Each structure stands twice: as C-alpha cells, then as structure tokens.
Amino acid sequence: MRILVVEDEEKLARYLKKGLEESSYVVDLALNGTDGLHQATHESYDLIILDIMLPEYDGLSILKAARIAGINTPVIFLTAKDSTKDKVEGLNIGADDYIVKPFSFHELLARVRVCLRRGSHKVALELKVADLTLDSLTRKVFRGKKKIEVSPTEFSLLEYLMNHAGQVVTRTMISEHVWDSNFESFSNVVDVHIAKLRNKIDKGFNIKLIHTKRGAGYVIEEQD
C-alpha cells in the first residue's frame, strides 16, 4: 500500500513516515502545497494524508483539484483546524476522514486501515495463493500452518505480488509500489528482496510459488 503524506511540519512528517513504514506501508512525503498538489494528481496512491494549512496551496485546494481531476483516492485530513465548520467543509469537498492535531498515532493507524478497506474494492483483507495466506490487518503470513516472519518491506512486496497473483510484474512496477519516490530503479534492491522472500516462502516446500520470468519480471502462482 502506497501513502502520500502532505505535511509542512517536517518533524511531524518524518514521524508519520517512520510509523507508517514500520506498519508495512510505502510512504512518500510532500512538505509544501505545490509538491503535494503535483504528487497527488500525477502519482498513484492508495491513500493521502493531508494537512490543511500548507504553504503555497492549502489542503482544501489540493483535494478539490484531485477530485476535479477524477482522482478518488481516499483522503484523511490531519490538521489543527478543529471547528465543526472546518470539519464539515473538509468532508463536504470529498475527504474520507478528519483527524485533529494533536492526535494518537494508533488512532491514525486504525483510521488509515479503515479508509484503505473502504476505499479500494480490489484490496482484499486476506490474500491467498495455494497454501500461502497473507492477512492485511494482522500483518501475518502463513505457508500452510507455518508462520512466516517477514520484514515490513518483504510484507509490502509479498502483498503486491499476491494482489497481482498470476500476473507478471516488472521490477519498475514493483519499485513504484513497494519503495518510496527516492528509490533508485537501476539498483538490484528488488532482486535482493525477491531472493530473501523466496527463501522464506518457498524453501523447504515442494511447490514453489515465486517465479522469475526472464527478461520480464516476477510472478507468484502455483504452476503445474
């Protein structure tokens, strides 16, 4: 899952990025309204967390522009503006939730999960390929009855592969959805993580699930 955080208070933005990444989300940051507007309307995200009081373009303007452009990505406003009028205005122009600062990160995380569940019909709570299961809520992975311990990045990578089970995904596709915008696409990081994940998922099992399509990418499926 890829999340955009638009927040001009850099310390808070870094705190949110760290906390969300520890929960296996991929996070991009925008520290002003101009960058936030560009990223929200030119990149693909599963969720946007948006401050209202931003330099250059405020959060309301960014959300309006996104909705006018036909972008229906769920949006959570995270702001110090706490009046009922502000909340009503934010929700009326298309926000999915509204959280007032200061806030509990655990509450924010719970609302993030609710928005992601509600906002995307294509994201299942439990993914299954053969005897491999991944639970998006509990963040647990099992191969048969064996629990597989994975890192946050490995979880995101496996979740992406399983959401596209049976489809070949390229290294570029993987990097855009599993790593943030600073990822160097020419590196071998994708291959290294695939190798680590394959070692955990397939080692010791007769049926291999993660396959390399030479010159194309990777696919997760049960092959004959």
Find the CATH number of the domain harbouring 15: 3.40.50.2300
Q: Hey, what are 26's tokens? A: 């991929």
pTM above 0.85, yes or no: no
Residue of 128 and 22 predicted with greater confidence: 128
Confidence of residue 87 (pLDDT cuts 50, 70, 90): confident
Does one domain contain both 80 and 45?
yes
Pairwise CA distance, residues 132 & 221, whole Å:
10
Does one domain contain both 139 and 88?
no
pLDDT at position 121 is 43
Q: Which of 119, 154, 182 is the last residue of a domain?
A: 119
Residue 114 sits in which domain range?
2-119
C-alpha distances in Å from residue 174, one per residue of 82, 115, 157? 39, 23, 7
For tokens 């190798």, what's the residue?
195
Kindly state the average pLDDT of the residues 177-197.
77
Does one domain contain both 111 and 147?
no
Does one domain contain both 136 and 111?
no
> What would you measure as the largest C-alpha separation in the chain, in angstroms?
60
pLDDT at position 147 is 94
Does one domain contain both 161 and 83?
no
Could you read off the pLDDT of 1-59 as tens digits, one per residue?
A: 889 999 999 999 999 999 998 887 889 999 999 999 999 999 889 899 999 999 889 99
